[in-house]
Structure 1
Amino acid sequence: MGEQQLVKRARKGDDEAFYELLQTVKSSLYRTAYRYFGNEHDALDAVQEVTCKAYLKLHNLRKPGHFKPWILRIMMNYCHDEWRRRKRTLPVEEIFSVTSYDEDTDRYLILRDLLLDLDPKMQEIIQLKYFEDWTLSQIAEWKRVPEGTIKTRLNRALKQLRFEWEKGEERHV
């Protein structure tokens, strides 16, 4: 059964249809959350929260054929908001509670922070392009903007990341 039919059934209260929809996106949701939080526990919590939000807000989905992009956007917004909230409320020692760092872990944490400092529109494009393997034309179609706009935002985001990365490297030399 197609995504549109499952969405229509789920909107009418068919929990089995909603479950089937989730099965098609669960790995993408988990990967997205894991990239933000870096651990399984928080990623699973995020998937659970987003699942509940999506279930309650399914009636807001304008195009039944766009369930996956819709729920991924909910996940990215949730992760972004949660990361910002934690960053404000947790002491630095708890955020970076890894006991033994290696160079890759350090780089991962630095890159994650740099990504979270980007404009949300730029974060979204990087997430979809590099972590969900969407093409620029798919992103442009989904966002309803010209492909050139997506290319420009991606280029700016990558330049900003490169600049901030190099600035950080200079401080550690």
Structure 2
Amino acid sequence: MEIYEKAKLAKRGDKEAFVFLIRACQQSLYVIARSILNNDDDCADAMQEAIAKAFSNIHTLREPAYFKTWLIRILINECNNMIRKKKRDYPTPYDMRTTSYIGDYEQIELFEVINGLDEQLQIIVTLFYIEDLSIKEISKVLDVSIGTVKSRLYRARQQLSELVLREGGSKYELS
């Protein structure tokens, strides 16, 4: 497991290992930051702050196998701090309408559907379905119980079904 080994090296002070880890997580960090913040500049700032804090505090990483989860948690906290500083009401969801999945049937604008969810469910769906984090990892990242993650995923699935059915099934396909 290369991430685990690199995280162990980074924890011991290996800067090249830390850079490798950041590059491996970079796309995920952007997607998560963009799902919380409104624009690319804010995302870049949050990512830079999160990376700087992670670098400064890498010695506090308890379990190298969970480096990505640890880093995502730092990023989410940084995004929330930026929102508080700017006195925004709530994180503006990532404008995912421009990204589409083209399958064998018809174009499914997945991110447009996700944007139709209640705002608190958008991050759960993004972490679970887009970033492929486990329920346990999401629980750690968001600092909520596993039961809370499961119930929010359940509610998100219900809302997604309602959104798809509201479209009359012509635009979105249920599988």
TM-score by structure 1 length?
A: 0.62
Structure 1 counterpart of 2:59? 59
> Given that residues 36 and 112 in structure 1 are in contact (C-alpha distance below 8 angstroms), is that contact kept between their aligned partners in structure 2?
no
Distance 2:160 2:153 in 1: 10
> Given that residues 125 and 139 in structure 1 are in contact (C-alpha distance below 8 angstroms), is that contact kept between their aligned partners in structure 2?
no
Q: Choose between structure 1 and 2: higher helix proportion.
A: 1
> Given that residues 127 and 138 in structure 2 are in contact (C-alpha distance below 8 angstroms), is that contact kept between their aligned partners in structure 1?
no
Distance 1:147 1:41 in 2: 33
SS of equivalent residue, structure 1 residue 133: coil
Amino acid at match of 1:33: A
Distance 1:43 1:146 in 2: 27
How far has the Cα of 1:32 moved from its partner? 1.4
String of CA shifts for 1:119-167, please: whole Å, max 9, x gaps: xxx6653331243133xxx2236637986553223234667899xxxxx
Distance 1:46 1:39 in 2: 11
Structure 2 counterpart of 1:100? none
> Given that residues 135 and 149 in structure 2 are in contact (C-alpha distance below 8 angstroms), is that contact kept between their aligned partners in structure 1?
yes
Of all paired residues, the percent bearing the same amino acid is 39
Structure 2 counterpart of 1:126? 125
Higher relative contact order (CA 8 A, sep 6+): 2
Structure 1 counterpart of 2:5? 5
Distance 1:62 1:51 in 2: 17
Structure 2 counterpart of 1:18? 18
Alignment of 1:97-136 (within 5 A): 111=115, 115=119, 118=120, 125-134=124-133
Distance 2:53 2:116 in 1: 25
Distance 2:78 2:160 in 1: 22
String of CA shifts for 1:71-125, please: whole Å, max 9, x gaps: 1111112112212321359xxxxx9xxxxxxxx69xx8xx59952xx3xxx6653
> Given that residues 33 and 79 in structure 1 are in contact (C-alpha distance below 8 angstroms), is that contact kept between their aligned partners in structure 2?
yes
Distance 1:23 1:53 in 2: 16
TM-score by structure 2 length?
A: 0.62
Structure 1 counterpart of 2:32? 32
SS of equivalent residue, structure 1 residue 13: coil
Aligned-CA RMSD value: 3.6
Gaps of 5+ in 1: 90-94, 96-103, 163-173
